[in-house]
Chain A
Amino acid sequence: MFYLSDNDVHELEQKANDIRESTIEMLIAAGSGHTAGPLGMADIFALLYFRVLKHDAKNPDWEERDRFILSNGHICPGLYATLAHAGYFPEEELLTLRKFGSRLQGHPHKGTLPGIESSSGPLGSGLSQAVGMALALRMDNPYTSQYVYCMTGDGEINEGQIWEAAMLAGKEELHNLIVIIDRNAIQIDGYTKDVMPLEPLREKWEAFNFDVQEVDAHNIRMMHDAIGKAQAVYGQPSVIIAHSIASKGIDVFERDFRWHGNPPGKGPEDRVPKGEQVETALRKLRTLGGAIEASDID
């Protein structure tokens, strides 16, 4: 991990903004899909694909690459947009999301779209696959510096399989596994504290032998430094609890769980007038300039 200059941060913020714009356009064109997660994770997607990951968009199967597993597959519009901007496939294809014959399936399918490392959507199984990849890479080289990054939702960790995988990762001391939890505090039915309380979350992961960090998911420098530290951890896996703002960038959507599974144009009608939602959403995107941080809203 190299030093991140102010200019680097600015460029990554610009990439994140591009990813958010594409995501909104895709969701509107599709007429269905998830808004909250992709907008909330755009900064981390940008940081991973334009700074952190060892990868080659022109050679997606490059054996020496790092792996990124999207366990919370429903936020794939954000990943698709990122992959397109990174050069894995043409950006024009983004607007085929969820349409018949598209490579951009409603939930990701490995083998259909370059850059997708695993089929996901049914929650809880991505982390297990990431553990398997990290294990296999370490079998081939005990000191491997090929990292496996796995993003999960916070609601997703209701799933028992997450904890089965965490137990195995802890047992196997998988230093090359870095889990990123989108801690946006919402899930489909409501706020995580109401649906299934997760706290104390840090202590849960520590109890499973993970190195735990908590960061602001929208502070690119803080997240960058956390990944650097996670890479340096040896003898145990790492988890970064990334506190994020669901739907970040569009103030009327932000932190409202009702936007978890709705696209702009189909959301809660009492917040945004239909019809105007699309342009409004794009116009209101406020991730540049007066950028906000997770800690600003509570």
Chain B
Amino acid sequence: MRLADHLDRNIFTDNVEQVPNRNGYGEGLKEAGEKDVRVVALSADLTGSTKTNLFADAFPERFVQVGIAEQNMASVASGMAAVGKIPFIASYAMFSPGRSWEQVRTTIAYNNSNVKVIGAHSGVSVGPDGATHQAVEDMAIMRVIPNMVVIAPCDVHEARKATLWAAEYEGPVYIRIARENSPVVTTADSPFDYGKAQLLAEGVDSAENKVGIITTGILAHNALMAAKELNEAGISTSVLHVPFIKPLDEEAVLALAKNNDFIVTLEEHQVAGGLGSAVAEYLSETHPTKIIRLGVHDQFGQSGTPEELLAHYGMDTKTLLDTVRKNLN
């Protein structure tokens, strides 16, 4: 297995660094604020847990506390963008864009407004809070909106880069981030380019069985752990990390499909509407390929530890290994 350059050298050790990727949003937002005075941040009473506090403390005059009112926050941000600001709005993904979907669609996306929507506490890994707070539908509802870019960073470094990138990009962007610690996979030097997927690991070309794993968000590390074990067992396994659910890196997805027997997608989201759907939709039209989608299957989440929940809903390394082995010829 060949690993991409610029990956964290501890990814396969017990010392792999564990950091919530929401920290990357907080740091990136503060940096973006330092670079550009047009950047403003809005919060709906979740300033600390979305890490917006780093910006709010540094630039109190550019921070707006709207109270617990996500719908208002979305449209207020649209109004601010219309006067030249670059607003970042952050709340839990379940509420923003979950509750505020129509406002995001009409007042942000249809206006083609330069607003960045940050959905925190995404996925079941939120853990003990339970299903009410576990957004596993957010990528689906954002991906279907014209003009909207959808990003799911894999770790703290990528979340920071996505935030800095979004501040410079002209147009609406959605970034989903997670609450809990997750392994640091990339480094400050890893590439992050608009619409580009990253081939994190490449299997051996000459192997008899070849599988391509496509992942997004904080599950990249699970995919790499499975790939290591499979490659060591002689099953060629490549891992394509897709930070941009939209626009999808079609070239990279097509190349992976052509080079492998089948594809497994892995996302902390419903299998409908997110990464798995995007890949299946594209490949069914261009290069029909067997695709197994791992994620939440038409269910709500529940309370538990992140590890228990990722295992229960089939997004852990073990499920991925079992799935690949079961589908080998």
Contacts and interface: CB of A to CB of B under 8 A. Distances in A.
Interface in B71-89: 71-72, 74-85, 87
A119 B66 CA distance: 22
Contact of B75 (A109, A110, A160, A161): A161
B181 interface: no
Interface string A77-119: 0000000000000000000000000000000011100000111
Contacts of B62: 139
Contact of A164 (B69, B81, B110): B69
Contact of A125 (B40, B67, B82, B103): B103
A237 to B, nearest CB: 13
Interface residues of B, number: 29
Interface in B126-174: none
Most chain A Cβ neighbours within 10 Å, of B40, B103, B106: B106
B111 interface: yes
Contact of A119 (B81, B87, B106): B106
A89 B76 CA distance: 28
A116 to B, nearest CB: 10
A133 interface: yes
A129 B78 contact: yes
A128 interface: yes
B110 A129 contact: no
B83 A137 contact: yes
* Interface size band for A: 35 or more
A207 to B, nearest CB: 16
A126 to B, nearest CB: 8
Nearest to B103: A125
B69 A132 contact: no
Given A128-B71, A139-B62, A168-B67, A118 B76 contact: no
Nearest to A167: B67
A233 B112 CA distance: 33
A122 B78 CA distance: 15
B40 A139 contact: yes
B69 A111 contact: no
B308 interface: no
B83 A118 contact: no
B61 A135 contact: no
A131 B40 contact: no
A122 B72 CA distance: 13
A165 B301 CA distance: 32
Contacts of A132: 75-83, 87
A118 B69 CA distance: 20
A110 B71 CA distance: 19
Nearest to A162: B72
Contacts of B64: 135, 172
A118 B66 CA distance: 21
Contacts of A164: 66-67, 69, 71-72
Contacts of B74: 128
Top-9 shortest CB links A-B: A132-B79, A128-B75, A164-B72, A129-B79, A136-B83, A132-B76, A164-B69, A136-B80, A133-B79
Interface of B: 40, 61-62, 64, 66-67, 69, 71-72, 74-85, 87, 102-103, 106-107, 110-112
20 contacts: A63-B84, A118-B78, A118-B111, A122-B102, A125-B75, A128-B76, A129-B75, A129-B82, A131-B79, A132-B79, A134-B79, A136-B79, A136-B82, A136-B83, A137-B83, A161-B75, A164-B67, A164-B71, A168-B66, A168-B72
Interface of A: 63, 67, 69, 109-111, 117-122, 124-126, 128-137, 139-140, 160-161, 164-165, 167-168, 171-172
